[in-house]
Amino acid sequence: MGKTSVGRYCFGQIVDNSMGRTLETEHRGIKLIFSVPNALNQYRVDTFSTKEPETLEWIDRFPQGSVVWDIGANVGLYSCYAAKARGCRVFAFEPSVFNLELLARNIHLNHLTDTITIVPLPLSDELAFSKLSMTTTHWGGALSTFGQSYGHDGEPLAKVFEFPTIGLSMLDAVNLLKIPQPDYIKMDVDGIEHIILKGGLPILRGIKEASIEINDNFTTQAVDARKYLEEAGLSFKGKKHADYFDLQAGSTRYTFNQIWVKQS
């Protein structure tokens, strides 16, 4: 289609029209609007209330005005919900060049530019130059990793794209970027959660709660994440995922959002 001037024009029109498509959803009386340029983002919006109901329930308990770090924000569904439903000050960490445009669009569509700040860098255990490796170049895609060769299940990553960038620790984010200490941390980065936690112990010691996505079958991730969270003075409260994941094949049935709370 792009070999002739007419073809290129038509292709451009298709892309422009796709990026202009939006879809509204509502959860517990909170209306949100999201950009849906492809089937993946359509699915994300269609399943907003059912894919991770435990995450929405957790966010609904936040005190108004809390500071939230959404680490692995993707296109910002939960960032937007926390900001709109609970008036949270959200810092959305998302390094994917393919997701950043949609993240920005979604923040704009929901009139949340004063409450959500995009941090377009990956988190790790230290300040470092490395590569973000990705399994897809689709808008709204997931399953990427920074500085490692494995994915969310600990198996070798099926990489299709990579680019060089700079990673930093949670401590660097506060000390160097002056990002406020979070009250709540939501982390879903498909495999390197334990590495990020390792570099953020001083920050973790100051939070109220965290929701961390952990694959129980990825032993290194599960064991190390528990170690660092407990070192930070947090207690395991429980783990959940939507019931239909129990019927799925592969690693998703063993992946849960774990809730950790400050020890009293």
Structural domain spans, the chain: 51-262
Closest by CA position to 119, among listed 68, 59, 161, 64: 68
Question: pLDDT for 85-129, tens place per residue?
Answer: 999 999 999 999 999 999 999 999 999 999 999 999 999 999 999
54's tokens = 């435990």
Question: pLDDT for 55-88, tens place per residue?
Answer: 999 999 999 999 999 999 999 999 999 999 999 9
Cα distances (Å, whole numbers) of residue 35 to 15, 16, 128, 148: 13, 12, 33, 30
Q: 76: left (phi > 0), else alpha (psi -120 to 50), else beta?
A: left
Q: Which amino acid is at 264?
A: S
User: By the 8 A CB rule, do 182 and 67 touch?
Assistant: yes
At residue 15 the predicted structure's pLDDT band, cuts being 50, 70 and 90, is low
Tokens 């900001």 appear where? Answer: 83
User: By the 8 A CB rule, do 33 and 22 touch?
Assistant: yes
Domain 51-262 has CATH 3.40.50.150: yes
Spatial separation of the C-alpha atoms in residues 250 and 245, rounded to whole Å? 10
